Amino acid sequence: MIDAPSNNHAPRGSPVAHLVLHHTAQPLDVSLDLLRFGRVSAHYVVDVNGDIYRLVAEDRVAWHAGLSWWGEAQGLNESSIGVEIVNMDGNVHDYPDAQRDAVIGLCRAILARHPGIAARNVVGHSDIAPKRKDDPGGRFFWRALASVGVGLWPVASAAGGPADEADLLAVLRRIGYPPPHRYGTRAGRQAYVDNSDESAFADIVEVDAADIIVAFQRRFRPARIDGRADAECLALARALDAACARA
């Protein structure tokens, strides 16, 4: 563990309840510079060789999640620990074994220190900010993490064919995924858009059903990410929902 303190942190207003995993989309040196001296931060950065940098103490808020929504929680910085993993794009590049092992060890230690993080609340940035974010990507090792008790991995099989989109969205909502929604930008900041306040925003981004399904597929069925409700997705979502209820 290498101490590399960040300038960007704040006191926590709520207990730790989420663990959020990211890819950096930048090399190590650029990432450390942004996360220590820029406008954002994270609790940890894990390099490709497995070196772990500690930037922010776990009892402080770091600024890694941004506009985000999971279950009943919005704005997950307050309640989360954020881990940035060095990879230019986890949808394209595999994570090396040494890095994977370091992340697994780090996540296990974080969960041991924070029993308030429920299994369903081990999430990727793309889970909590669909459409806006796609990290840590379809090549991330979620299954390996779940096999050692970090997060959940659903096992299900189903024949091909379409499934009802509303059914799938309802199950995804129970798991934690946000419903379809809109967000806007104002003075460089993002916020969820309320009908009464639309004119205040420069751009409105629609996050629709397909975007929510893509987020689920990117994590749990990366072999085909097409935003369509199909029988396999519905079976996986139901298996995951059942695992969330048991956990």
Chain contacts with Zn ion (rule: CB under 5 A): 22, 125, 135
Contacts of 119 (CB under 8 A, 6+ apart): 149, 151, 152, 243, 244, 247
Nearer to Zn ion, 47 or 135 (CB): 135
Q: How far is the CB of 89 from Zn ion (least distance, A)?
A: 12
Q: How far is the CB of 149 from Zn ion (least distance, A)?
A: 23
Nearer to Zn ion, 16 or 21 (CB): 21
Please confirm, yes or no, whether 72 is among the known catalytic residues.
Answer: no
Q: How far is the CB of 133 from Zn ion (least distance, A)?
A: 5
Contacts of 20 (CB under 8 A, 6+ apart): 64, 65, 68, 76, 80, 81, 82, 83, 123, 124, 125, 128
Q: How far is the CB of 108 from Zn ion (least distance, A)?
A: 21
CA 170-173-174 angle, 5° bins: 90
Nearer to Zn ion, 71 or 137 (CB): 137
Nearer to Zn ion, 43 or 238 (CB): 43
Which of the following is catalytic: 78, 84, 165, 232?
Answer: 84
Q: How far is the CB of 31 from Zn ion (least distance, A)?
A: 11
Separation between Cα atoms, residue 32 and residue 4, nearest integer Å: 8
Nearer to Zn ion, 135 or 165 (CB): 135
Q: Which of 94, 95, 83 is nearest to 125 (CA)?
A: 83
Q: How far is the CB of 34 from Zn ion (least distance, A)?
A: 12
Separation between Cα atoms, residue 35 and residue 37, nearest integer Å: 6
Active-site positions read 84
